[in-house]
Amino acid sequence: MTETLAIRARGLERTFRRGAVRALAGVDIDVPAGASVAITGPSGSGKTTLLHALAGLLPVTAGEVRIGQEVPRTPADWARFRRDHIGLVFQDDWLLRRLSAVENVEIAMQGTHLPPREQRQRALDLLDRVNARAFAHRRPAGLSGGERQRIAVARSLANRPSILLADEPTGELDSFNAEQILRLLFALHGTEGLTLMIVTHDTALAARCALQFRMHDGRGRFSGTEKTE
Ligand SMILES: Nc1ncnc2c1ncn2[C@@H]1O[C@H](COP(=O)(O)OP(=O)(O)OP(=O)(O)O)[C@@H](O)[C@H]1O
Ligand SMILES: [Mg+2]
């Protein structure tokens, strides 16, 4: 039986500055559904660019991304895939400044079938789980970087994604809050089979993931289906 892949990418390339910067210079990956993968590599090696490409947030210059069995092609396809399958936590939190914390989590559920009251309840529950319930009704501008990051983690989980793409999700956090976030992510990984792809410079966090993918100069090849140990 072939293992189901959450993400499959082939020949990903992305240049900037009219080709002067090759942020992705050939990436091939197979990520099995339910895997936990640490993405490591030096600063500037293309990790963030890769996550953006895998989420369809950045068009690639060449190559193809498959999510599950499908290849999203249009921006509308990608928007739907992100809403239904992919949770995102980025270095910049991308929270909407006019909305409160709880509204920022709720907005991820717009266009789903969940009634508004249940959206509110789920948003508050998630904020509780990331230790952010106390500032549910405050706007991001009045919050610290770590507080905003916790809201971003809550938002990423709002639609019960099957894949979580996270770029240094605990980078802004003290050890207590970092541990709480990681426990939540790995608990969802364990109980619901959430596929984790976590960019990190933290070797202890990388070691908690079952698989490691190291990038170098925009290049990398990763097949989580080939067990080396
Ligand atoms: N919008 C952009 N315009 C120009 N160059 C860019 C852009 N985004 C990224 N790059 C370049 O692409 C390369 C890869 O950047 P990327 O942000 O993916 O690295 P990274 O591995 O995430 O690094 P870090 O660990 O510091 O976050 C770098 O050389 C970076 O300067
Ligand atoms: Mg980065």
Confidence class of residue 139 from pLDDT cuts 50, 70 and 90? very high
Most informative mutation of 13, 21, 27, 40 for ligand 1 (most atoms within 8 A of CB): 21
Kindly state whether residue 43 falls inside one of the protein's structural domains: yes
What's the whole-model pTM score? 0.94
Kindly state whether residue 134 falls inside one of the protein's structural domains: yes
Specify the CATH number for the domain of residue 49: 3.40.50.300
Confidence class of residue 1 from pLDDT cuts 50, 70 and 90? very low
Distance separating alpha carbons of residues 87 and 120, to the nearest angstrom = 18
Kindly state whether residue 85 falls inside one of the protein's structural domains: yes
* Count: domains in the chain: 1
Residue nearest to atom 7 of ligand 1 (CA): 16
The pLDDT of residue 218 is: 97
The pLDDT of residue 226 is: 65
Residue nearest to atom 5 of ligand 1 (CA): 16
Segment 187-193 shows an average pLDDT of 96
Assess whether the C-beta atom of 46 lies below 6 angstroms from ligand 1.
yes
Kindly state whether residue 53 falls inside one of the protein's structural domains: yes
Report the chain's C-alpha Rg in angstroms.
17
Burial (CB count <10 Å: 0-12, 13-18, 19+), residue 75: exposed
The residues that bridge with 30 in the sheet, in sequence order, are 8, 223
Residue nearest to atom 19 of ligand 1 (CA): 44
- Whether 154 shows a pLDDT value over 60: the answer reads yes
Minimum-distance ligand to the CA of 50?
1
Question: Is residue 127 left, alpha or beta, with left meaning phi > 0 and alpha meaning psi from -120 to 50?
Answer: alpha
pLDDT tens digits along 106-134: 999 998 899 999 999 999 999 999 999 99
Q: C-alpha distances in angstroms, 21 versus 15, 116, 217?
A: 5, 45, 10
Assess whether the C-beta atom of 36 lies below 6 angstroms from ligand 1.
no
Kindly state whether residue 184 falls inside one of the protein's structural domains: yes
Q: Take residue 139 and report the two structure tokens written for it.
A: 């706007």
Kindly state whether residue 229 falls inside one of the protein's structural domains: no
Kindly state whether residue 73 falls inside one of the protein's structural domains: yes
Kindly state whether residue 228 falls inside one of the protein's structural domains: no
Burial (CB count <10 Å: 0-12, 13-18, 19+), residue 132: buried
Mean pLDDT, the chain, rounded, equals 94
Q: Which domain holds residue 144?
A: 5-223
Confidence class of residue 93 from pLDDT cuts 50, 70 and 90? confident
pLDDT tens digits along 15-74: 999 999 999 999 999 999 999 999 999 999 999 999 999 999 999 999 999 999 999 999
Assess whether the C-beta atom of 119 lies below 6 angstroms from ligand 1.
no
